[in-house]
Amino acid sequence: MNDSVFMRLRHTFGEMMVERDRDGRPRVIPDSAEGVAELCGLAHANAWRVRVEGQGTWMPADAPADIALATRGLGRIVQIAPADLVATVEAGVPVALLRRELEAAGAWLAIDPPGRPDRTIGSVVATGTAGPLRHGLGPVRDHILGGTIVTGDGRVIKAGGSVVKNVAGYDLTKLQVGGFGAFGVVTQLHLRLRALPAHRVTLTARGDRDLLTHQARALMERGLVASSLELFSPALAAEAEWVLAIQLTGTEAGVEAEVTGAIEGAETAWTRLAPESGAAFWQATARAALDAPLTFRLGVFPDGLDEMLDLLADKLDTGLVSAGPGQGMLRWSGDASVETLRSVRHLAAEREIPLTLERGPWALRNAVGHFGAYREGVGRLVSKLRSTFDPDPTFAVALEGGADD
Amino acid sequence: MVLPGTRDEVIAVVRALHATATPWVARGAGTGLSGGALAADDSVLVVLTRLSRILHLDPVRRRAVVEPGVVNARLSEAALPHGLAYAPDPSSQSACTLGGNVAENAGGPHCLKYGVTTNHVVELEVLLPDGSLVTLGSPQGEAWGPDLAGLFVGSEGMFGIALQITLRLSPLPPAIQTLLADFVTVRAASEAVGAIIAAGIVPAALEMMDQECIRAVEASIYAAGYPVDAGAVLLVELDGQPVAVAAESAQVEVLLTKAGARGVRSASTPVERARLWQGRKKAFGAMGRIAPDLVVQDAVVPRSALPGVLEQIGEIGRSHGLIVSNVFHAGDGNLHPNISFDHRDRDLAERVHQASREIMAVCVAAGGSITGEHGVGSDKLEYMPLIFDPATLSAMCDVRRVFDPDQRANPRKVVPVHYCREWR
Of B107, B251, B303, Cβ closest to residue A84? B303
What confidence tier does B353 reach under pLDDT thresholds 50, 70, 90?
Answer: very high
Q: What is the per-residue pLDDT for B289?
A: 84
Of A81, A169, A384, Cβ closest to residue B388? A169
Taking Cα atoms as reference points, which of B32, B29, B119 lies closest to residue B298? B32
CA distance B214 to chain A (A): 25
Q: Hey, which residues 87-106 in chain A have their CB within 8 Å of chain B? A: 106
CB-based contact A287:A115 (threshold 8 Å): yes
Q: Quick check: B41 pLDDT over 90? A: no
- What is the rounded distance in angstroms from the CA atom of residue A53 to the CA atom of residue A394? 14
CA distance B7 to chain A (A): 18
Q: Which residues of B touch A159 (CB under 8 A)?
A: 392
A interface mutation test: which of B252, B336, B399 has the most A CBs within 10 A?
Answer: B399
Is the ipTM here above 0.90? yes
DSSP A218-283: HHHHTT---SEEEEE-HHHHTSSSEEEEEEEEE-HHHHHHHHHHHHTT-SSPPEEEPHHHHHHHHH
Cβ atoms < 10 Å from Cβ of B201: 21
Q: What is the per-residue pLDDT for B198?
A: 87
DSSP A193-225: -EEPPSEEEEEEEEE-HHHHHHHHHHHHHTT--
- Residue in chain A lying closest to B102 (CA): A167
CA distance A280 to chain B (A): 23
Cβ atoms < 10 Å from Cβ of B86: 26
CA distance A153 to chain B (A): 11
Q: pLDDT tens, B100-147? A: 999 999 999 999 999 999 999 999 999 999 999 999 999 999 999 999
Q: In whole numbers, what is the pLDDT of chain B averaged over residues?
A: 95
- What is the rounded distance in angstroms from the CA atom of residue A380 to the CA atom of residue A174? 18
Q: Which residues of A touch B141 (CB under 8 A)?
A: 139, 299, 328
Q: Hey, which residues 6-25 in chain A have their CB within 8 Å of chain B? A: none
Of A178, A354, A377, Cβ closest to residue B133? A377
Q: What is the per-residue pLDDT for B419?
A: 85
Strands (DSSP E) found in B169-282: 170-171, 175-183, 205-210, 232-240, 263-267
Percentage of residues in chain B having pLDDT higher than 70: 99
Half-sphere exposure of B377 (CA within 13 A, CB side): 27
| Residue contact A81–B302, C-beta within 8 A | yes
What confidence tier does B422 reach under pLDDT thresholds 50, 70, 90?
Answer: low
A195 in contact with B, Cβ within 8 Å: yes
Q: Hey, which residues 59-98 in chain B have their CB within 8 Å of chain A? A: 60-61
- Residue in chain B lying closest to A253 (CA): B244
CA distance A257 to chain B (A): 6
Q: Which helix (H) or strand (E) holds B76?
A: helix B72-79
CATH numbers and ranges of domains, chain A: 3-73 (3.30.43.10), 77-195 (3.30.465.10), 198-335 (3.40.462.10)
CB-based contact B152:B136 (threshold 8 Å): yes
| Residue contact B154–A167, C-beta within 8 A | yes
Average pLDDT over residues B233-239: 96
- What is the rounded distance in angstroms from the CA atom of residue A237 to the CA atom of residue A241? 8
| Residue contact B403–A381, C-beta within 8 A | yes
Q: What is the per-residue pLDDT for A2?
A: 66
Average pLDDT over residues B174-199: 94
Q: Quick check: B424 pLDDT over 50? A: no
Q: Which residues of B touch A168 (CB under 8 A)?
A: 369-371, 376, 380, 384, 387-388
Q: What is the per-residue pLDDT for A405?
A: 42
A218 in contact with B, Cβ within 8 Å: no
Dihedral, B236, B239, B244, B250 alpha carbons, nearest 10: 20
End-to-end distance of chain A based on CA atoms, in angstroms? Answer: 21
| Residue contact B369–A81, C-beta within 8 A | no
B326 in contact with A, Cβ within 8 Å: no
Q: Which CATH class is domain B292-365?
A: alpha beta
- What is the rounded distance in angstroms from the CA atom of residue A53 to the CA atom of residue A69? 6
Regions of chain A where pLDDT drops below 70: 1-2, 403-405
Q: Which residues of B touch A177 (CB under 8 A)?
A: 147, 150
CA distance B12 to chain A (A): 18
| Residue contact A85–B248, C-beta within 8 A | no
Burial of B39 per CB tally in 10 Å (0-12, 13-18, 19+): middle
Long-range contacts of B170-173 (CB under 8 A, 24+ apart): B170/B62, B170/B84, B170/B85, B170/B86, B170/B87, B170/B114, B170/B120, B171/A223, B171/B62, B171/B83, B171/B84, B171/B85, B172/B80, B172/B83, B172/B84, B172/B85, B173/B204, B173/B239, B173/B240, B173/B245
3-state secondary structure of A286: helix
- Residue in chain A lying closest to B335 (CA): A165
CB-based contact A175:A157 (threshold 8 Å): no
CATH number of the domain located at residue range(s) B7-171 in this protein: 3.30.465.10
What confidence tier does B278 reach under pLDDT thresholds 50, 70, 90?
Answer: confident
Q: What is the per-residue pLDDT for A101?
A: 98
Burial of B350 per CB tally in 10 Å (0-12, 13-18, 19+): exposed
Taking Cα atoms as reference points, which of B186, B181, B182, B184 lies closest to residue B317? B186
Q: What is the per-residue pLDDT for B44?
A: 98
CB-based contact B48:B28 (threshold 8 Å): yes
- The CATH T-level fold of domain B175-285 is Alpha-Beta Plaits (3.30.70)
Q: What is the per-residue pLDDT for B423?
A: 45
pTM assigned to the model: 0.97
3-state secondary structure of B344: coil
Dihedral, B35, B31, B167, B79 alpha carbons, nearest 10: 170
Contacts A–B by Cβ distance under 8 A: 254
